[in-house]
Structure 1
């Protein structure tokens, strides 16, 4: 597309395209619709200078916490993408409102990122910044690449942005992952990279969020179970499906999360729950799953609910510590007498005292 040199020319082009003028056919209908929203719904002006609205401090921390495992997992993927691209780009994670929760960028892009307003806490929704990778991705719920003058605001016309939506295990749109740079990004390879990173984020976040539930990991090819393309289903003790990833929908020939969430694994695979639960007692290798109505043969591994060891360990440790303290106080810190009352050796008692940081003291 031609480079637009002035804000005025950019504004005239947008007006012409939205009216259906001669230039309209050169632009993707999604871009035209986004420009229409910016003018009619958000009352934005293409030539106006806009600084992103910011959320700071406690609100930004609260938004990161609400993202659950997505934010810390995305941090890893963002650093990997930055290193892999090795180019003047920035990688950003937003929440569902377009607020940038995390930023990671190449040092050569730092100055451009600062001018553009790519910083943590900045809001990049369409209503705030017009047509852009993050905001338009959230508006459409699909991957987008916004190239140069396809941005609504002329101040962003020097950028190319590629974003993909992040959904949770129920199919709810919870954020985006975006790459922005001042170079022309190849649509196919860049979108593939972003989509793969999003797939990793969604899968790991689902596994983390449902550690206390049954987790079925499956794939039509046995060797691809526990890889990025595996299907994931989380279900409770009654077999009710609580979450699924996008690959699971594909392998089960379902088009949306609504068709899976709240149903039972018995209805999905056409077998008794006990048969699926038996997978967790079998070999660690993926085993054939039951087929329903001549469906796709898949191989799966079932992970049993994880024991919340950390939550249990703390109360147990605190209880033991208090029991030791009470016994020693009662015995006036006579270790031999306390060990006899506790039915343990003096050596064991000393080890426990050291582990709990208990030592003799005198009141007053």
Structure 2
């Protein structure tokens, strides 16, 4: 028995040593650095890991919203990060589209079991399995349609100005798998959902989201497209190894196009999770088709927005640096912020709130 325990310890030690060689030092440093006492201290420490700027918004029940920032909004001009600035929220946009789908399904404007071929017959012969792929599968990333952003010809440095150009990267391409066979995240699904909503509504789904989601929540700092705002009001974006500010790159595709402040995202997320945005029938539909939090990633921008039930808190984190090891670092920072919030809440409960 003693020999077995000794062998086990040796195996664990060897595994630890091997992992040190494969985990980049900067990530390991972020993980092993002692946890500070406050969120603001952790936000300041984030800049030590080659992040240009970071914004954090915390909405915890029973407390006023808290805003944190460190680093630069604009690196070249050394403009400090502002927690109230606009940010490209990338795929967090998918939460708004999924919410719109739930509302339209409830109104019987859309049908979760209707096929892609039925909604967009012009693609019936050009997207494999279009007659089997349902609206539900598109929302849930279970369609098997290839992800257009994985295509080697996707122009990250000069984004398409028309969605019709984006379609060319997936039309006539073989499916990744049979419909509903498995889950595989694909931006193509939400590109098609935007097209379906536009065609079914007879007007832009952006207008629907604005009228049915943003206005009721009084989200006056949330926009469907970068072109709706002045670039001066948008946080700069940087990619590791590339010096210029790339915030001018305009990604118009549905499911990745929105711009908002951290607070607006937080208010939306709180309403989506606490049931104040959707009625009971809409909430039941939403719960069956999509998730309640999301991450986002575009060149120069990474974001995490989630609700954490155990501490009844919405935590939104924006970082204006991408590439290299930055995504892993942002995840580590986010997890550390949650640890601080949990530790503080536990301390308050043990101290009777004092």
What TM-score comes out, normalization by structure 1 length?
0.27
Greater relative contact order structure (CA < 8 Å, 6+ sep): 2
Instruction: Return the index of the structure with the highest Cα Rg.
Output: 1
What TM-score comes out, normalization by structure 2 length?
0.28
